[in-house]
Chain A
Amino acid sequence: MKRLALLPSLAMLALAACQPSGTTIKIGLIGPLTGDAAAIGADMLSGTRLAIDRINAAGGINGKQLELIAEDGKCSGADAANAAQKLVNVDKVVAIIGGLCSGETLAAAPIAEAGKVPMISPGSSSPDVSKAGDFVFRDYPSDAGKTKAMAKYFADNKLAKVALMSENTDYAQALKVSLKKDLPAGSVVFDENVEPGTKDFRSLLTRMKSAQFDVFVPNANSDAVDAVMVQQFRQQGFTQRITGADTMDSAVVVQVAGDAAEGVTLINVPTAGEGTKFETDVKAKYGEPKSSISWVAYAFDAMNVFAQAFKAAGTDGPAVRDYLYGMQPYTGIVGTFHFDKAGDPVGISYVSKKFTGGKIITVGNITLP
């Protein structure tokens, strides 16, 4: 057995030693390709791939082709650290897209920092990422802006009492903490966490009946769970409004929840590519998004931002970092943004959308003060 195991691993190390280099620009990706968040990881991968294919088809960066090396971070710190070590020190990538889970980003950040490799995370929303280091950026809005928009939307629509149901994952928890900070004190009348993987929220909803609330916020890590929450909420006979955040922005909600999805509102960036040519391109190439088109879009934008930086500043790590900090507002799929001092995106605007007749329709802008 041992001898058997030895052979492939030796072969792999030999393979690693003789990989060609110099002719391409290597880009690393760290995301959950397996495990609980694998669906989102797959979307992130296809977004990055799509961007790279388009850049390469258009001639690459100054004549050099981009090469993607994707590593599995499994949504865990240990695996992301392994992946980052390999990308930074063995593959010598010039930039990293990822991680997706905040745990991945936080574990990979010090390694990227030591190797002077800039990272753009297309999905980590936790406030901790802002402090993760000089080389860490994200084009995924930190929750601060999104939840301010949600709070404003609730205030505008006189929805004073909020009921929250959050999945116990780092994305949903970070959103919850941020939302509670932005809402007036005492307005969250129901606040519960559910285990990731649970699909049965009926008893919790039964308990919700005793709470007096105006709006229900299903806060899950993926659209499928959001949809199940919406479906069971309506099945229990609630008539209150439902408002979700970006994971709700998905056609899957209609497929799973059916009629229950009618009238559900959500706060998100104006478009994450839904209903555009971008979406049809993604579908033609990679099929239905595994989790939601927005994860594809954020990764797509992150890759394109890097490409723009390489064209302007070359592929040297500190130069790319300085370029990103000073970048003019960039217009991507998810909106127009630039980075602030913490590497967080600034300038992404928010709109409210509504499920009407099985389609998601934008109903209004939310202007933040």
Chain B
Amino acid sequence: MQLLMNGLIAGSLAALIAGGLALVYGVLGVFNLALGQMVLVGGYATWWFHVPLGLPLSASIVLGLLMGAALSWASFELFVNPFYKHHRFLPLVTTIALSMILDAAILLLWSERPRSIPTTGGGMISIVGMQATFTQLTLIMCTLLLLCGFACLFHSTPFGRKLRAVVQNPLAAMSLGVPAPLLHRIVFIMSGVFAAAGGIFLGIDQTLSTTIAFPLTIKAYAAIIAGGKGNIWGAVLCAYLIAILEQLLVGVHWFGTFYVSAGYQSTVALLFIIVFLLWKPQGLFATSQRLA
């Protein structure tokens, strides 16, 4: 049971990041390999507002999210927008460049020191044999709330309808008067906000350090590939699934005989990618594209 709880904590983090990414992939069809760095910038910015500048936590979080939005907007204009219409694989290389630049920026601005965002409310809570701190529960709740809010936006507002139209067929949507380029921009910025939220989560629950960026990106990709490219709910679900499997892999006494070495924990996400691409390239929850 404790393993489930652990999976839930880790999965909420992954789901936050993967959710935004899946949307980007679904709408724009581009990969963003600088995602992990965007997560870190959100987290580091929040830490910076909260600790050295001494702003209250809530204000810092809002500012951190704004930073994430600003950064992803700038990234979109500079690194994605000029390229993805030429060829949708070009951003794959430009975002590698972006990730290097952001890495350097993080090192120059905030140095290598691992940071964590201090919070109050570290008391342990026990629910049916599962232990978690109050902070962790709050984080899980916030994640679910954010994702649900997004679901409402996506499924029951005019804006969401336009978004879904662009996902299905951008050209047709444009001819019906939906401003697809504007929506592309909004979607990319939204994914940046989700990433920044993930960074804040990471900073509160664990610690931020530059080494963690690339593993985060890979895990998010595992989730969106397994979830069916571009399917947000598939990605979110698979993010939780991967996290729980990771915890089970090292936490369970397999067949009562052996344990898997914890060093292999991160390969769960990689195996997910490998298995799904081979066995079901469309992913678990893929929807077929609408044709005439």
Chain A interface (Cβ < 8 Å from any Cβ of B): 34, 36, 38-39, 42, 168, 192-200, 202-204, 206-207, 210, 222, 224-225, 227-228, 235-237, 255-256, 258-259, 288, 290-291
Q: How far is the CB of B223 from chain A (nearest CB, A)?
A: 16
A204, A206, A228 — most chain B CB neighbours (10 Å): A206
> 22 interchain pairs (CB within 8 A)?
A36-B211, A38-B112, A38-B210, A42-B111, A193-B262, A194-B262, A194-B265, A195-B265, A195-B266, A198-B215, A198-B265, A199-B202, A203-B3, A203-B249, A203-B265, A204-B251, A207-B252, A224-B114, A224-B116, A224-B209, A225-B114, A235-B131
> A204, B262: Cβ atoms under 8 Å?
yes
Chain B residues within an 8 Å CB radius of A200: 6, 9-10, 206
* Interface presence of B149 (CB below 8 A): no
* Interface presence of B75 (CB below 8 A): no
Task: Report the bound CA distance from A228 to B106 in whole Å.
Answer: 22
> B248, A39: Cβ atoms under 8 Å?
no
> B253, A206: Cβ atoms under 8 Å?
no
Chain B residues within an 8 Å CB radius of A198: 215, 265-266
Pick from B107, B113, B249, B262: contact of A34, CB below 8 A.
B107
Chain B residues within an 8 Å CB radius of A42: 111-112
Pick from B2, B111, B211, B249: contact of A196, CB below 8 A.
B211
> B210, A202: Cβ atoms under 8 Å?
no
Chain B residues within an 8 Å CB radius of A204: 250-251, 262
Kindly identify, within residues 9 to 59 of chain B, every residue whose CB is under 8 Å from any CB belonging to chain A.
9-10
Kindly identify, within residues 136 to 174 of chain B, every residue whose CB is under 8 Å from any CB belonging to chain A.
none
Chain A residues within an 8 Å CB radius of B210: 38
Task: Report the bound CA distance from A220 to B259 in whole Å.
Answer: 21
Chain B residues within an 8 Å CB radius of A194: 262-263, 265
> A290, B265: Cβ atoms under 8 Å?
no
> A224, B10: Cβ atoms under 8 Å?
no
B115 nearest in chain A by CB position? A224
Q: How far is the CB of B271 from chain A (nearest CB, A)?
A: 15
> B263, A193: Cβ atoms under 8 Å?
yes
A208 nearest in chain B by CB position? B251
Q: How far is the CB of B101 from chain A (nearest CB, A)?
A: 14
